Amino acid sequence: MMNKKIEALNKIKISLHQISPFKNEPTDCVLWIKQQQVIANDYNPNVMSPTEKRLLETSLVKDGYTQPVVVLPIQQSKNKPSQWQVVDGYHRYLLSKKK
């Protein structure tokens, strides 16, 4: 049931994006993607101290995701992306996998 709702929501977002005055902006069409379809990148240059990591984790628990994890498609299946790679939000992504 949840998958069908997410698919419908993403289709609506894509349709609205096509006529949006902001369609050239990268944040105009934010879609929901299953966590199982997302992989981390192996080139993340950022190092996070344990204190910063705890602060981020506390923020995610208290405030939720105030910024999306940005991904790009890396694998296609039936003309649709089937796998995505993190390009921004690596630490948020890793912490989300702990839940």
Place of tokens 């498609």: 73
Burial class of residue 6 in the structure, from the number of CB atoms within 10 Å of its CB (0-12 exposed, 13-18 middle, 19+ buried): middle
pLDDT number for residue 62: 96
Q: Give the model's pLDDT for residue 55.
A: 96
Are 45 and 17 contained in the same domain? no
72 and 50 within one domain: yes
Domain that includes residue 68, residue range = 33-99
Q: Say what angle helices 50-63 and 90-97 make with each other, to 10 degrees.
A: 70
Shared domain check, 82 and 50: yes
Whether 46 and 78 map to the same domain: the answer is yes
Residue 99 has pLDDT above 80, yes or no: no
My answer on whether 25 and 47 are in the same domain is no
* Residue 19 Cα to chain centre, angstroms: 23
Indicate if 58 and 46 belong to the same structural domain. yes
Q: Are the C-beta atoms of residues 14 and 29 closer than 8 Å to each other?
A: yes
pLDDT tens per residue across span 10-65:
999 999 999 999 999 988 999 999 889 999 988 877 889 999 999 999 999 999 99
